[in-house]
């Protein structure tokens, strides 16, 4: 069955990446459809913040039910599908391993199976993760072996191989993006980057004096979310489906992120930040950094924003939000 041309369906459009991806695709002239588990109940705050809520056609879909996924795909007949929906917090995945792995694996398999079952020539992007690699002593590339260290990563690794298998066995145009951490003002505060920015802003406003975090010596490769959705869109415009590592290629310690953020507010982080083992994970990744050279070579993609500039953007957005009293 031929899909409708330039029609995209994003599962999980209510999240950070869903909002930026929808904006990018609308700007590229696509008809954009998106799902939430409860499209009537979701606030779609990201789409609202980007001013595109009325330009996205919204659907409710249950990723764990094949019938729900297949019906949505059949109704929309998209030329491109992006699966962004999942329980996406690594920390929470240790408390909810079954829900997390289930949300990632079943969602991916059900979409792959719907495309195959309906005989659609739809291209499929699956949101995999740098977490699949575990610790990366040297920057990870597309040939680096996986060593998942959380239930979240186990689910992402399994769905990565499901995508590869459907590509090889059924000739689907399906690819996975192994994306390293990417941030934006649309991230909720349960993620450490927003927790740091908002914590520093609260201390600067004297609402509190202390910010409590977990391990501070972790090293991460942080990028800017709008760059990363651009990479997703480029992957589906290739002649052949392939998997890509998407990263800035530069790693910083969490402590450096904290220092940069606190300096933006004129604060010395050492006077305000404490580390509590209660916030540490049962098994964490100490160093995570990616090698994006394949993406540069084949997609013409490179990160525009690395850590210090990323912090500037997040702080600027937080200051605007506070000046408008949107909290």
Which residues are known to be catalytic?
A: 129, 131, 152
Nearer CB in complex with ligand NDP: 130/255: 130
- Provide, rounded to whole angstroms, the least separation between the CB of residue 115 and ligand NDP: 18
Can you tell me whether residue 97 is helix, strand or coil? helix
Is residue 88 at the binding interface for ligand NDP, with CB under 6 A as the rule? yes
Nearest CA among 128, 11, 123 for reference residue 64: 11
3-state secondary structure 100-167: HHHHHHHHHHHHHHHHHHHCCCCEEEEEEEHHHHCCCCCCECCCCCCCCCCHHHHHHHHHHHHHHHHH
What character string, x for contact with ligand NDP (CB under 6 A) and - otherwise, covers 38-57?
Answer: ----x---------------
- Provide, rounded to whole angstroms, the least separation between the CB of residue 178 and ligand NDP: 8
Region near ligand NDP per CB under 6 A, out of 10-18, 139-147, 262-270, 305-313? 10-18
Whether residue 46 contacts residue 24, with contact meaning beta carbons closer than 8 Å, is answered with no
Q: What is the maximum span of the chain, computed from C-alpha positions, in angstroms? A: 62
Please pick, from the candidates 22, 127, 254, 295, the single residue that binds ligand NDP as defined by CB under 6 A: 127
Which position has the token pair 């004297």? 206
Residue nearest to ligand NDP (CB): 15
Which position has the token pair 């795909």? 73
Nearer CB in complex with ligand NDP: 175/203: 175
The Cα–Cα gap between 15 and 11 comes to: 10
Region near ligand NDP per CB under 6 A, out of 71-79, 81-89, 236-244, 289-297? 81-89
Which position has the token pair 């975090």? 213
Is residue 99 at the binding interface for ligand NDP, with CB under 6 A as the rule? yes
Is residue 108 at the binding interface for ligand NDP, with CB under 6 A as the rule? no
- Say if strands 252-253 and 219-220 run parallel, antiparallel, or are unpaired: antiparallel
Cα pseudo-dihedral 23, 61, 85, 145, rounded to 10: -130
Is residue 16 at the binding interface for ligand NDP, with CB under 6 A as the rule? yes
For residue 73, give both structure tokens: 């795909």
Q: In angstroms, what CA-CA distances link 308 with 197, 199, 215?
A: 13, 17, 20
Nearer CB in complex with ligand NDP: 127/140: 127
Can you tell me whether residue 29 is helix, strand or coil? coil
Please pick, from the candidates 8, 10, 17, 172, the single residue that binds ligand NDP as defined by CB under 6 A: 17
Nearer CB in complex with ligand NDP: 141/265: 141
Region near ligand NDP per CB under 6 A, out of 14-22, 51-59, 210-218, 300-308? 14-22
Whether residue 181 contacts residue 17, with contact meaning beta carbons closer than 8 Å, is answered with no
Please pick, from the candidates 50, 84, 261, 295, the single residue that binds ligand NDP as defined by CB under 6 A: 84
Nearer CB in complex with ligand NDP: 3/18: 18
Nearer CB in complex with ligand NDP: 52/84: 84
- Provide, rounded to whole angstroms, the least separation between the CB of residue 84 and ligand NDP: 4
Contact set with ligand NDP (CB under 6 A): 12, 14-18, 36-37, 42, 63, 84-88, 99, 103, 107, 127, 129, 179, 181-182
């Amino acid at each position: 069955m031929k899909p409708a041309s330039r029609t995209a369906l994003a599962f999980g459009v209510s999240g950070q990446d869903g909002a930026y991806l929808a904006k990018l695709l609308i700007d590229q002239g696509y008809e954009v459809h998106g799902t939430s588990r409860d499209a009537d109940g979701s606030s779609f705050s990201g789409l609202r913040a980007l001013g595109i809520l009325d330009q996205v056609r919204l659907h409710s879909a249950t990723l764990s039910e094949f019938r729900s996924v297949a019906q949505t795909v059949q109704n929309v007949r998209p030329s491109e599908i992006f699966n962004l929906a999942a329980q996406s917090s690594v920390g929470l995945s240790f408390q909810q391993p079954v829900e997390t792995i289930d949300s990632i694996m079943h969602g991916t398999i059900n979409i792959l199976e719907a495309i195959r079952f309906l005989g659609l020539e739809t291209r499929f992007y699956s949101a995999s993760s740098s977490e699949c690699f575990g610790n990366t002593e040297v920057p990870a590339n597309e040939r680096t072996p996986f060593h998942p260290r959380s239930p979240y990563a186990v689910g992402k690794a399994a769905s990565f191989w499901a995508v590869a298998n459907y590509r090889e066995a059924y000739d689907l145009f399906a690819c996975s993006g192994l994306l390293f951490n990417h941030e934006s003002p649309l991230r909720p505060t349960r993620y450490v980057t927003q927790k740091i920015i908002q914590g520093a802003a609260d201390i600067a406003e004297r609402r509190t004096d202390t910010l409590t975090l977990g391990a501070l010596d972790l090293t991460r490769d942080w990028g800017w979310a709008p760059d990363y959705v651009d990479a997703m869109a480029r992957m589906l415009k290739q002649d052949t489906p392939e998997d890509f590592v998407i990263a800035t290629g530069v790693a910083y310690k969490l402590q450096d992120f904290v220092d940069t953020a606190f300096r933006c507010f004129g604060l010395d982080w050492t006077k305000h930040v404490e580390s509590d083992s209660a916030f540490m994970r049962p098994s964490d990744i100490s160093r995570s950094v990616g090698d994006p050279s394949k993406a540069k070579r084949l997609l013409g993609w490179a990160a525009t924003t690395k850590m210090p500039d990323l912090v500037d953007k997040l702080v600027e957005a937080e200051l605007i939000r506070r000046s408008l009293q949107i909290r």
